[in-house]
Structure 1
């Protein structure tokens, strides 16, 4: 399926269009924060503490330390997006490595890889991240690695099933008979055919990464201060939620919109790339 056709199909889907808009806002916020924020997001101004929205030049108000809420949200978008993208890249590498090891290696070794994958799936991503941060200390790379490895193990199961299906098709068997090597088969036949499924799964990994990063930062296991993240904003403002509920609502809405956006984008990608769904739509 051509890229331009896939994009048109994605935008025609309601979920795909809505997801693209929400994810686009996240990306735009992250890019804007690279070159501009209304104020320094980490600079405390006690004289401007507890300002309401549109007071004193602060569009979304300030927290108890006088830090601009909009500036923190923009900077938090950059932190959230970079963490999610890095985690997705690690998940793709881990998932493909385990999947290919399971289907391309000798049967006994493949069975061991499958059993190892099933054991690792039993450990929740957040638990792995908490253990790693407790041992190595909180850092962005610790959080990214934990989320990426945890998501990659789950991705491996889907990739393994798709890879096994493709390897059993007639044209792949014919390529082997014609003398095609293993890595040529992977490059020419396997990866192109499982790519649509992987793209959809990776969009869901991004939503899991956003939520996991926010949860870890909220629990104190995420990126340490003075780095800004939406989860840390929630953690710092939770004790003032009764007096200043807006300080919790803004980052909460940002997390919810980002997670929803990636989930809707994943649904739209599935509809745009799944030939069976397109056939049903045309038949209807």
Structure 2
């Protein structure tokens, strides 16, 4: 009986998907995400040029950006590199860091939050005080310090972002785990002799999956923005590897003469972050048991 009650409290995946697809803003966000992912995956075939190849037509001075049009749909940067090609390959960098960093942050946050919420006592107090200590540091400043200590690379940047982004997940899951641990069906499982591993795996974690999914989706937008910020400040992904952040960094001096070099990658970052936020907000609504029956 308790297993049935516990399972009933969890949202049905099929029903949640139907409600998600009924939301126009969520569909818009999904379409943007699919477009960016497709561009990143098929970049080697879609990019008209090598992202690091320099092009000069003999008419423009070397180092002068070429405006959008003709052979260069989005123009070229100050080094004569095709901006469209660099944007497509930069999408790969941004998405890889977004997924990897956010995955690591979710893993760390889940381990800390669930462990602290279930065991509580001295273990829980120590873990949550450490979480509070991490939350006291400004995330951007801490990320800059860590990125400056290590030699910046794609994987180092992903690790650095994960180390500063897990605390919110840990705090949320700690609260939910503490609440679930007091529920009647958990008490019934303990009475029946279920061990800690079984309870956590069969009853606690399934109820946390919707929260993890929502925070994972919302977290990717935060990760993409943080990666772009670090790359813009020169402590993120290093040239010549393209990322949307370092494309802005490299071309900021040409902001007035060639504004497209800043506006295009800036708009891409904005739209991708918006897309994940729209999908994350929709998932939060459709996975919330109190919203069942609503469109």
Partner of 2:39: 29
1:201 aligns with 2:227: no
Among 3, 13, 33, the residue aligned to 1:3: 13
Q: Does 1:149 align with 2:163?
A: yes
Deviation at 1:34, TM superposition (A): 4.6
Deviation at 1:32, TM superposition (A): 1.4
- Is the contact made by 1:23 and 1:262 (CA closer than 8 Å) also made in structure 2? yes
The whole-number CA distance in structure 2 between the counterparts of 1:103 and 1:252 is: 40
Specify whether residues 216 and 179 from structure 1 end up closer, same or farther in structure 2 by C-alpha distance, changes over 3 A only: same
- CA separation of 1:235 and 1:271: change in aligned 2, threshold 3 A: same
Once the two structures are superposed, the pairs formed by residues 188-267 of structure 1 within 5 Å of their partners are: 188-267=202-281
Whole-angstrom distance in 2 between the partners of 1:106 and 1:211:
34
Equivalent-residue separation in structure 1 for 2:156 and 2:136 (angstroms): 20
- TM-score scaled to structure 2, two decimals? 0.90
Q: Distance in 2 between matches of 1:45 and 1:58?
A: 10
Structure 1-normalised TM-score?
0.94
Q: Which position in structure 1 is the counterpart of 2:152?
A: 138
How far apart are 1:106 and its partner, in Å?
Answer: 5.2
Of the three residues 23, 28, 41, the one matched with 1:18 is 28
Unaligned runs of 5+ in 2: 1-10
Taking the aligned partners of 1:12 and 1:227, their CA distance within structure 2 comes to 39
In the alignment, the residues of structure 2 paired with residue 169 and residue 253 of structure 1 have an alpha-carbon distance, to the nearest angstrom, of 46
Aligned-pair CA distance for 1:244: 0.8
1:273 to 264, 277, 287: 287
Deviations 1:28-86 (A, max 9, x none): 1111115441100111123375222222x211111122111111111111100000000
Q: Which residues in structure 2 correspond to 1:76-155 (within 5 Å)?
A: 76-105=90-119, 107-155=121-169
Q: Note the alpha carbon deviations across 1:210-240, whole angstroms, 9 max, x for none.
A: 0000000000010111110001110111111
Q: How does 1:165-180 map to 2 (within 5 A)?
A: 165-180=179-194
Q: How many residues align?
A: 280
Q: Return structure 1 stretches of 4+ with deviation > 6 angstroms.
A: none
Would you say the 8 A contact 1:196–1:273 is kept in 2?
A: yes
Please, which runs of 5 or more residues in structure 1 have no aligned partner? none
User: Pairwise CA RMSD of aligned residues?
Assistant: 1.5
In 1, Cα distance between the equivalents of 2:171 and 2:65? 49
